[in-house]
């Protein structure tokens, strides 16, 4: 009993620290965006670009990518990932085949009634999948998939035999691909991971915006890095005594503060480009193969076990590259895929 109380207090403390840290990390993201934008447009670009037309074009391009970066980041912050409903508040599907299992696998039959179900749920077109984002349709046919009208929604098959576990931590139904987040203390639909940089989980409804946030972060940092890298080489060469580099940097070598600021800006932009690039390409791989971060680690372990037994592993959620992308992003058309507002 005492141990349980201590564990609960420790968990509450961890949850508080994680949430508080999340607010500081969000502020840090906005600070980093502002710092890189200002240093790139006002210092790095003018130092490296002498043609005024090219300089103007570079600044406009950076403004465009930064606006999209901030827009998608705000959507990440303000869009719920989608949470599983609790057993006590959920209106269930009108099928006699539906059962609930708690995590001890004790089965409870659900009393199914027709009253109120048609008002609470509506038929929703999808392509043989449990989940789909709002206002997005995959395939050309309507099926018997149902969608909760609430914001924290889910989709499931009217005619399937559904066996659902009940989460022992939050009491929610564990739909397929649903995982409990220990920081949010809720079960998240199609959970990818808990991201401290947005202060919540990446899941069913905000994964698209998270991927686009990474895309525009990488493009913004890359634009600056393309000029920051040669600038950093010039600055370091000037410090080492290269006469040509000294001639190019003579006006700023006398100003130690400006010199250090340019060098710091260059190093940060290059570091951010590498970091966001690695993260982006990893999530593109997950997108193309229809996996979440959690499923990737789970599937990697399962794949190794099966390969040791001479068996092949197949991802049951993989519908092919284009359908996988369309399922999360809503479209595969370029450049519409980069602009969720269109």
From 233, 251, 252, select the one nearest 242 (Cα to Cα). Answer: 233
Q: Please list the active-site residues.
A: 195
DSSP β-bridge partners for residue 187: 180
φ/ψ of 267, rounded to 5, equals -65, -40
CA angle in degrees (0–180, nearest 5) for 183-18-286: 60
Map the chain to HEC letters.
CHHHHHHHHHHHHHHHHHHHHHHHHHHHHHHHHHHHHHHHHHHHHHHHCCCHHHHHHHHHHHHHHHHHHHHHHHHHHHCCCCECCECCCCCCCCCCCCEEEECCCCEEECCCCCCCHHHHEEECCCCCCCCCCCCCCCCCCCCCEEEECCCCCCEEECCCCCEEEECCCCCEEECCCCEEECCCCEEECCCCEEECCCCEEECCCCHHHHHHHHHHHHHHHHHHHHHHHHHHHHHHHHHCCCHHHHHHHHHHHCCHHHHHHHHHHHHHHHHHHHHHHHHHHHHHHHHHHCCCHHHHHHHHHHHHHHHHCCCCCCCCCCCCHHHHHHHHHCCCCCCHHHCCCC
Return d(Cα 331, Cα 293) in angstroms, integer.
21
Return d(Cα 137, Cα 304) in angstroms, integer.
35
């Amino acid at each position: 009993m005492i141990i349980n109380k201590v564990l609960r207090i420790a968990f509450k403390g961890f949850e508080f620290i994680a949430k508080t840290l999340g607010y500081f990390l969000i502020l840090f993201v906005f600070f980093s965006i502002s710092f890189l934008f200002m240093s790139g447009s006002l210092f790095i670009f003018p130092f490296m670009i002498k043609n005024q037309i090219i300089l103007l074009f570079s600044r406009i391009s950076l403004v465009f990518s930064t606006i999209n970066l901030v827009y998608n980041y705000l959507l990440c912050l303000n869009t719920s990932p989608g949470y599983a409903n609790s057993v006590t508040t959920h209106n269930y599907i009108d099928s006699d085949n539906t059962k609930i299992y708690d995590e001890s696998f004790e089965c409870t039959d659900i009393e199914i009634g027709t009253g109120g179900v048609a008002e609470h749920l509506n038929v929703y077109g999808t392509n043989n999948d449990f989940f789909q984002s709002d206002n997005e349709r995959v395939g050309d046919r309507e099926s018997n998939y149902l969608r909760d009208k609430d914001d924290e929604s889910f989709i499931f098959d009217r005619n399937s035999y559904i066996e659902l576990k009940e989460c022992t931590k939050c009491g929610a139904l564990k739909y397929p691909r649903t995982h409990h987040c220990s920081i949010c203390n809720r079960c998240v639909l199609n959970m990818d991971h808990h991201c401290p940089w947005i202060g919540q989980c990446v899941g069913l409804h905000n994964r698209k915006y998270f991927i686009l946030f990474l895309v525009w972060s990488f493009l913004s940092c890359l634009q600056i890095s393309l000029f920051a890298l040669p600038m950093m080489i010039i600055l370091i060469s000037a410090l080492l005594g290269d006469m040509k580099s000294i001639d190019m940097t003579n006006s700023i070598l006398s100003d130690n503060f400006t010199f250090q600021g340019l060098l710091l800006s260059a190093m940060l932009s290059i570091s951010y480009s590498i970091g966001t690039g690695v993260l982006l390409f990893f999530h593109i791989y997950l997108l193309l193969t229809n996996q979440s971060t959690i499923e990737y680690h789970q599937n990697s372990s399962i794949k190794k076990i099966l390969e040791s037994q001479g068996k092949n592993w197949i991802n049951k959620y993989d519908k092919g590259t284009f359908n996988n992308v369309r399922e999360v992003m809503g479209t595969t058309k370029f450049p519409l895929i980069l602009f969720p507002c269109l």
